[in-house]
Amino acid sequence: MIKKTNVRTKSRIISLARKPLVIDGNHLTIEDIREFVCNQNMFVEVSSTAYERVQKGKRFLDLEADRGRILYGINTGFGPMASHIINSDQMAELQENLIRSHAVGMGEPIPDEYVLATMIVRLNTLAKGFSGVSLELIRQLEIFITHRIIPIVPEHGAVGTSGDLVQLAHIALALIGEGEVRHHGIRRSTSDVLAELGITPHMLQLKEGLALINGTSAMTGVATHVSAHANRLLSVSVRLGALALEVVDAFDDSISEYLHIIRPHRGQGMIARVLRSIVSSSQLLKNRDTFKKSGVMKSKVEEINEEVQEVYSLRCIPQILGPIFDTFKKVRGEVEIEMNSVTDNPIIEWEHKKFLHGGNFHGDYIATGMDQLKAAMTKLTMLAERRTNFFLHDAVNQRFPPFMNLQTPGLTLGLQGLQFVATSTTAQSQSLAFPHTIHSIPTNGDNQDVVSMGFEAAMFAAHVAENAYIVLAIELITLAQAVDYLNIEQKLSRESRMLFRVLRDIFPKITEDRVIVHELPLVTRLLKETSTLDIDWNL
């Protein structure tokens, strides 16, 4: 076993009371990353087994380099310049040049939680032991992550093939003491922060610049957050669907067990099952068996006042959200596979004494998954927008005041203005949902002739998720107005009543028109951060 020592920083003293996130290269999950990002009392620790693998890979790489073997990116140039052989005394300089030349991203910095997730994913990849890096580099990443030293990573620059070269180069730049970082929320020079903490900048060794930036860790880091939000959004959408069914006194056969058994898609059946569970304590849904003609018909055809079937946004919730559930589950699995994969090049296959040149850095799994996810989240958003329109459009619902106006229609406007926000936000997501992975443009002297655009796809998916929270928040506000109008809180199911109450605790009903712009973020935050809204999909 390798004894892990730490002589490179005087400040890394880990309290036994703190919780470790153990990195071993094989078992990292989305929940691990989300917990670490949210819990300041956690630190990362690479397992001893992983340290042993890293050391074996490093020894093999150093041995082969000493033998004069031509090794891509180690003693050769990069990409189209791979035929240029580098002298042994310039190999460290080559790695530094790679980092500095690629740390050229532009635009706004991506959120800190995305950068932190990216660093954790990259550490996990390097811990698999097939990248040829040193133990010192592994420890440097541990220190940065544990201390929440967050490199400033601009949003523009990645094409997602050879990985997220530009974004990851900004992280690598910070590891060697250059560029800028955010620490305790303050943007500062990296060198100043490291000096203050007593951390020594890392000196790049053979292949380490390439190992740090060659791979899909940035797009995967963003994808971990998008996947987690997608799960929350689906949970909220199902809860709002259940509440909507209760508010309109819907018939219960649209979510009946047998209806979905005879069309046995997994997601459809799961959504229907959860809906049945939520509304099981409701006093509002109607049974179809009690819906009969009354009296003797006076003519051959008579019109009744009751609806025989609800509109699709109410009646087809399992059929619409079912494939979304299946998509979310599929993509989530692919993201977790990527998190625990080797994605750089060449691979140091020390067990069989080989160097493998390939394309594991190509981001199409994440790119395709994020395109699928943002399309599914957009459809979820469209469902919320259409239900909102149903409740606000009195000529369509024929039971509520226009725009859910609880005061004086004409003088007061209710939720009329808020609907514009739902409409415009949904329309933006519809544009963003166009698959970005098909926007491949050759680059790098046509060496990278088919690229993934995975990082951009993930960022667009994150934007669609933010939009979805806005539209779902507006739907929740609308449904709560309907509950107040009908005075049916006590007849709601237990779970719908809980949802109604947590909203009303932060957002009072709208009677007189008031400025609500500062209240609306509280509702989106409620949907994002209230863990009790999550649904147990193992019901």
Asked if 194 contacts 176 with a C-beta cutoff of 8 angstroms, the reply is no
Asked if 406 contacts 485 with a C-beta cutoff of 8 angstroms, the reply is yes
The residue whose two tokens read 């190992």 is 211
Question: Residue 332 contacts by C-beta under 8 Å, 6 or more apart in sequence?
Answer: 30, 227, 230, 231
Structure tokens that stand for 464 in this block: 């669609």
Asked if 293 contacts 303 with a C-beta cutoff of 8 angstroms, the reply is no
The residue whose two tokens read 């990082």 is 455
Asked if 485 is an active-site residue, the reply is no
Catalytic residue among 51, 72, 365, 469: 72
Q: What ranges make up the beta strands (E) of 424-537?
A: none
Question: Residue 238 contacts by C-beta under 8 Å, 6 or more apart in sequence?
Answer: 271, 274, 275, 278, 317, 321, 535
Helix (H) or strand (E) holding 400: none
Asked if 138 contacts 126 with a C-beta cutoff of 8 angstroms, the reply is yes
Q: Return the DSSP state at 76.
A: B
The strand pairing partners of 154, in sequence order, are 109
Question: Residue 310 contacts by C-beta under 8 Å, 6 or more apart in sequence?
Answer: 245, 248, 250, 251, 254
The strand pairing partners of 85, in sequence order, are 76
What phi and psi values does residue 280 have, to the nearest 5 degrees? -60, -25
What phi and psi values does residue 161 have, to the nearest 5 degrees? -140, 135
b/e 150-167 (16+ beta carbons within 10 angstroms → b): bbbbbbebbbbbbbbbbb
Asked if 233 contacts 469 with a C-beta cutoff of 8 angstroms, the reply is yes
Virtual CA dihedral for 412, 414, 416, 421, nearest 10 degrees? 130
Catalytic center residues:
72
